Each structure stands twice: as C-alpha cells, then as structure tokens.
Amino acid sequence: MKRSVGEWAGLAATFVVAGAIIVFGVLITGSLLQLPLFVLVLACVAALAAIGYPLLRLSPTGAAPSGSTLYSRDIHPMASAAPSSTQSATPAVARRTEMSTSPLVAIVMGSESDRAVMDECEKTLEAMGVPFETVVASAHRQPAKVHEWAAGLADRGVKVVIAAAGKAAHLGGVVAAYTPLPVIAVPMKTSDLGGLDSLLSMVQMPSGVPVACVAINGAKNAAILATQILGTSMPEYREAIERMKADLAK
C-alpha cells in the first residue's frame, strides 16, 4: 500500500488527536470509577488499537486497481456516489466490475425485450474499453424516471447516450429533450412493421432537437459511433477506433 508523505502525516495527526482524546476520556472515567492502573492501561491500548487499525486499512487517496473500469448494467441513474445502491423504481444491479472510472456512455432501453439486441452494444463498448452503464426505462410508461435519469447525465460525467426502443420509439427524442449530450438512437426490429415504425419514430425529430440514428437493430454501430465521439477529445478511444478499422481492412 503506497502513500505519500502528506498522507502518512495526515494519518499520524489523526491518530495522535483521536488517541489523546480517547486516552484522556479513559483516564477521567477510570479515576471516577477508581479502576486499577493496569485496567486503565489495557483500556488505553485497546482504544488506540481500535482507532489505529481502521486508519491503516484505509485505501490511499485516489488509489484504485490499475486498469479497472466500470461496466455496469441497471445501476441507479442518480447514484454516482454509491452506485451499488438500489431503489424500488430502478432494476437491481445485474453486473458491475471494480469501479475506478465513471461511465462515459449511458445506454437506455425501453424494454427488457431489447436487451438481446443491445447486448452487442455492451460487448462492443467493453471491447473498446469504454466504461458504460445500462438502464431500462420506458419513455411512455416511466416518463418521470427517464426525466430524472436523463437530466443528471451530464453532471455525472457521461459524454454520449445510446437509446434503444421499438414501435412508437420516442425514447431517444425524450432523452435528447432533457440532456445537452449527443444521443444515438437504435431502432428495434418489430413484428408489426419490421422496425420501420421504430426507425421513423427516431429519425423524424423536430428542428433543434437532433438525434443520430443507426440502422434497425444496429446496436454494434451505435457503440462504435459513441466511441468515435469520445475519440474526438480522448486519444485512447480514437486509437481504439483506428485499431478496429485496421482489423477491418485485413
């Protein structure tokens, strides 16, 4: 466990101050109760050990397992400080690795039935090394949840949104209305009109509220496009796209 000189000094100062307070309290209490000296000494040692051990167990400031990245599914959208907490309005955590990076891409799908298609999107983002989160929220059945989730994305550090929905697929447009972030829509194939209904619902956005749209069931391309957007300002993702294109050319 590596710590800087400043961190060690801070731990030492905390230990000394807390220890002094505890020892003083033990001595005062012991004198009032007229306890034997060896009992007071044991109590002081136990108290100092009780505060010293947790301090030494604390992780160094800013330390995190090297290379660890957040890939999460169905985490609570507003719980950036404690992403593992669940709330009744939000699906439970399905999978999350060790977290050291906030999600850069947020995936939202209108129904659990879209998950089979969007799994390809998640796999592609993982392959690119892009941290993401996935939530299930319907623009029509859960408008308040979509509003709360979308409105807080930019403040949580998310850079790109991918929205997947079918039929009257207004999810991408609703999300775009609540966030300044770029939104990529993935129209789902349907049994009624083969996905044309989803596609037209997504691409016919009014002026001033654009939503990018990939092909019907184009989950993989949505992930690639999101990574390309990240790559305009983050070299590691531009390099990931360049490697992918080199592989395609072989």
pLDDT band at residue 18 under the 50/70/90 scheme? confident
Residue 139 has pLDDT above 80, yes or no: yes
Same domain, residue pair 207 and 137:
yes
Same domain, residue pair 219 and 186:
yes
Q: Range of 157's domain?
A: 72-249
Same domain, residue pair 103 and 49:
no
The residue that leads in pLDDT, 22 or 243, is 243
Residue 53 placed within a domain: yes
Same domain, residue pair 161 and 82:
yes
Tell me the angle at which helices 219-231 and 115-128 cross, rounded to the nearest 10 degrees.
30
Residue 173 placed within a domain: yes
pLDDT band at residue 70 under the 50/70/90 scheme? low
* Tally of structural domains, the chain: 2
Same domain, residue pair 30 and 144:
no
Residue 49 is predicted with a pLDDT of: 75
Q: What is the mean pLDDT of the chain?
A: 81
Residue 97 is predicted with a pLDDT of: 33
Report CA-CA distances (Å) from 112 to 4, 57, 68, 138, 221: 47, 41, 28, 10, 20
Whole-prediction pTM value? 0.64
pLDDT in tens, 83-101: 333 333 333 333 333 334 7
